[in-house]
A and B are shown apart, each in its own frame.
Chain A
C-alpha cells in the first residue's frame, strides 16, 4: 500500500469549510484513496473513497488531483461534532485481505466555535 502524508493538526471555524490535505505520491494505478475519521474513544467512521474522479456524498467531497499524487477531503460546513482525527489511506480495492487498511497518524481537526 502507498504511504500517505497528512499534517498532524488543523483548526477550522465552525460553519466554514474544512479542507484536509493528503499526499500519496507513490500511489499505484489500482489503489483507491479512502478517508475515515475517529472521534475520541470510538471506532473509525467511513467517510468517502475514490480512485481518480472527484466524489461527493452526504458527508464530504473528495478531490483527487489529476496525477493522483494528492487529494483533499472537504467538509463543506464544519460543526463541533466534526472534531476528530481524520485518516487518509491508500489501498487496493477488492476482496479479502487486499482491502486491509493501514492507519497512519492522521490529522487532528479541531473545529472552533
Chain B
C-alpha cells in the first residue's frame, strides 16, 4: 500500500520551454502533497506544500510564478516548471500523505534543460 507514482521519470527539453510533472497517489487519498528538489550530492529541499483544492504554500526563496503547483484532486498534483532554464535542471520528487499517516514519496523526475 501507499504507492506514489511520478511521471515522467526523466525529461530533457530545450531552454525556455515549460515542463509538467505529475504526482499520483495510487491507493490512497492524499489530502496533502509536497514537492522537493534535490541537486547532485545534496539533500532534499522542500519547495512547496499543497492541500487538495487550495493554493500551494511555497517555502522561502521558491518562486511561485516559476514553479506552478496544482492539486486539483485527492490523487493528483502537478508541478509545472515554466520557462525552464539550465539552472532548473534537478531531481524533482513529490510526496503524498493522507490524514495522520507518514509521507510516501515518488521515485522522482530527473529534469535536464539544454
Contact = CB atoms under 8 A, between A and B. Distances in A.
A97 B71 CA distance: 14
B100 A94 contact: yes
Given A45-B105, A99-B97, A103-B43, 8 more contacts: A38-B44, A41-B91, A42-B108, A43-B95, A95-B100, A96-B51, A97-B51, A100-B34
18 contacts: A34-B102, A41-B108, A42-B108, A43-B4, A43-B6, A43-B108, A44-B95, A44-B105, A46-B103, A94-B100, A96-B49, A97-B49, A97-B57, A99-B103, A100-B34, A101-B34, A102-B46, A103-B44
Q: Could you tell me the dominant secondary structure of chain B's interface residues?
A: strand
Interface of B: 2, 4, 6, 31-32, 34, 36, 43-46, 49, 51, 57, 91, 93, 95, 97, 99-100, 102-108, 110
